[in-house]
Amino acid sequence: MENVNFLYDLLGKNIISVVLVISLPLMFVLVYALIAILAELKVSAWIQERLGPMRTGPWGILQPIAEVVKLIQKEDITPDKSSKLLYNLAPFIIFTGAYAAFAVIPFSEYFVPAGINLGLFYIFAVGSISAIGIVMGGWASNNKYSLMGAMRSVAQLISYEVPAAMAVLSIVVLASTMNMQEINKIQSGWFWNWFIFGGPGTIAKLWVIPFTMGLGLIYFISSLAETNRVPFDIPEGESELVAGFHTEYSGMKFAMFFFAEYANMFVVAAVLTTIFLGGWNSPFNDFMQGPIWGVFWFVSKAFSVVLVQIWIRWTLPRFRVDQLMYIGWKVLLPLSFICFMAISLYVMLK
Amino acid sequence: MSDKKRLDLEYSQLESDRMRINVGPQHPSTHGVLRLEVEVEGEIVTEVVPHLGYLHRCFEKHCEKMTYLQVIPYIDRLDYISAMNNEWPYVMALEKLMDIKVPDKVEYIRVIMAELNRIANHQIAVATFGLDAGAFTPFLFFFRDREYIIWILEKMSGARLLYNYFRVGGLAADVYPGFKEDCLNIVKQVRKTNAEVMDLLIYNKIFIQRSANVGVLSPDVAINFACSGPVLRGSGVKFDLRKDDPYSIYDRFDFDIPVGLGEVGVVGDCWNRNMVRVNEMEQSCRIIEQAIAQMPDEGDVKALVPKRIKPPKGEVYMRAENPKGELGFYIVSNGTDKPERIKARGASFVNLSVIPEISKGYMFADLILILGSIDIVLGEVDR
């Protein structure tokens, strides 16, 4: 599979173009994280009949920048009895895990940083790196709350990766490829060609639509758990564990956790968009279809998913640890197996 | 040594240790400066020891050095969330000791103030209970409404939180013009928000899963620990001083006493305790409406009381139904203008003592919910 990448077409494959290709997603993550933080502040305010930040810039749009500046100025505390190396390494590992996933996210027909064939597999592989960072941070902090938060977090990440992987695997069966760019191309055309509506096919695909929609929901719920968002924010459950695994962190290291959380939110939203919502395809066949519009469709679809995550966060209470495990293993996993079987049957009969 | 044997040895050394965690005094959900020493085995709570005293201000000793009127601001600082309710049993005790008849209008205003403050207190209780469960939005809905109530109390007394409004034989000030309309508007707003929160929080599936069947307090344990207020009524015991030992003019109003019914979960669990508070807000609304309708417009808000309060020699105990439970004041007078001894019986202190009893065997996250459902204020626990 050749790399489809406009920068390589323009500049040839040399050191400059490679660095550009690597840094484009980084710039995107930084800008996106600022916007997402602002969205979180504003959406929560509107849900709660408040105004949100209004002082920094017009309608408070500079608030996230002010917060980052504040975090940079803060004292960088390393607890006395912590294990220094692990403690200082953890935030970077977590951010690396979140950022590495951007390598295979297809932003447009002509831009995917690395168009490898096992894109979806790769995302799940690097997504688990953050679990290591969380355990490191939680254990090295030498704080009981951090330790409990880290333990819960890892249990949660491992449990919810299974149903999420089953949901993704079902779509892989439908698309018969793991390359995210290919999956996008299959879904081109009208929006009923998206995999959440059963993918392209004849009228016979109607009976498979409930299963693909169910899978979309299962993936979305699992992704909430994987990114530690409400109602699954048990690892950092404020009311019992203060701030979970990052209780002891301050300043820029805390900001790294913050950025990683928002980057992770975008990664899961991007995967959901790619495999269920048609990726960079326009919903209306050729209307506004194209490489540049592709970026627009992709980012707006993924950001809508992020907004739904924010909306849920400010609406629901949180689960308890055992309830979380129950939902993961006894509800989502069997359901995803059923959907997987149904879709396999559909593909066999097709 | 064979492989099998070595494995056995390693497993035998893997004893799980119990961990002791200090929850508080600086912790987001201990509702003040309470310290809970918790012993957990994994996530299961095996032992809880509450440690008090971080907010001790020598209230009772202070009172002995002060005149009776100077004590009232200190009483505000006991249960600072419902200061109006706190002042009431104290002034009632002195009125009983001095045999003062309070004018009718004063009684009505006192009832309205106390019930408004009861609503404000329950709003905080339900809101922070939701917050402990992770629901942030209902918290702010309640705080928005509480602000309107506080505006009324501020217009009446001049203070937002610590009112210093009740006097022996009367009140500090009369009602302001437009007071009745304000109260009726508040009642409307409280009902609207409660209906909203019912959907958003109380009957939310996740919230029910979290709080039902958790921290079950059986009626006999509640009675043995002398619990009172919503904690007792949540266990299904219908005991409310406003009905069972009517003071002031509560016998003139028509209202019910909500108890835990086990509609969800079992009687005496966190959900039912919380539900009692939600229902009590509605009953307070009913009392306010009736009091506004019956309240006389004319009349003074002060009975004929000497400027220096000098109760005769003797002792008196007076109790009233505080939002958190039974608040009583035992006053010993030696005939001068300073009390010989004042003892306060705070509901929060007594209710808190039940925590070690009902939180064993539940998960660590449940302990926080149980603490939230008891609804304590550390000002009253430590005094």
Low-confidence ranges of chain A (pLDDT < 50): 1
pLDDT attached to residue B122: 92
The pTM score is 0.84
Q: Which of B300, B334, B344 is nearest to B167 (CA)?
A: B300
A101 within a domain of the structure (yes/no): yes
pLDDT attached to residue B4: 55
A85 within a domain of the structure (yes/no): yes
Q: Which of A283, A269, A266 is nearest to A220 (CA)?
A: A269
Return the structure tokens found at A269.
Answer: 């939203």
Chain A hits for B127, CB-CB cut-off 8 Å, are none
Low-confidence ranges of chain B (pLDDT < 70): 1-16
pLDDT attached to residue A322: 83
3-state helix, strand, coil in chain A (%, to 5): 70, 0, 25
Q: Which CATH architecture has domain B59-382?
A: Orthogonal Bundle (1.10)
Is B134 within 8 Å of A318 when comparing Cβ atoms? yes
Residue B242 to residue B215: CA distance in whole angstroms: 27
pLDDT attached to residue B263: 83
A14 within a domain of the structure (yes/no): no
Residue B90 to residue B135: CA distance in whole angstroms: 37
Chain A hits for B200, CB-CB cut-off 8 Å, are 315
Residue B287 CA, chain-centre distance (Å), reads 18
Residue A197 to residue A215: CA distance in whole angstroms: 11
Element (H, E) at A224: helix A209-226
Is A239 within 8 Å of B131 when comparing Cβ atoms? yes
Element (H, E) at B344: strand B339-345
Number of domains in chain A: 1
Task: State the complex-level ipTM.
Answer: 0.80
A296 within a domain of the structure (yes/no): yes
Is A320 within 8 Å of B29 when comparing Cβ atoms? no
To the nearest whole angstrom, how far is the Cα of A153 from the nearest Cα of chain B?
Answer: 13
A4 within a domain of the structure (yes/no): no
Return the structure tokens found at A8.
Answer: 């390589």
Which residue segment(s) compose the domain that A269 sits in? Answer: 79-349
pLDDT attached to residue B15: 60
The size of the A-B interface in CB pairs under 8 A is 77
Task: Please tell me which of the candidates A47, A148, A317 has its beta carbon nearest to residue B134.
Answer: A317
| Residue of chain B whose alpha carbon sits nearest to that of A322 | B363
Residue A310 to residue A39: CA distance in whole angstroms: 8
A343 within a domain of the structure (yes/no): yes
Q: Any chain A CB within 8 A of the CB of B204?
A: yes
State the best of A239, A321, A325 to mutate against chain B, taking most chain B CBs within 10 Å: A239
pLDDT attached to residue B196: 87
A284 within a domain of the structure (yes/no): yes
CB count within 10 Å of CB B293 equals 9
A299 within a domain of the structure (yes/no): yes
To the nearest whole angstrom, how far is the Cα of A218 from the nearest Cα of chain B?
Answer: 17
Element (H, E) at A267: helix A251-276
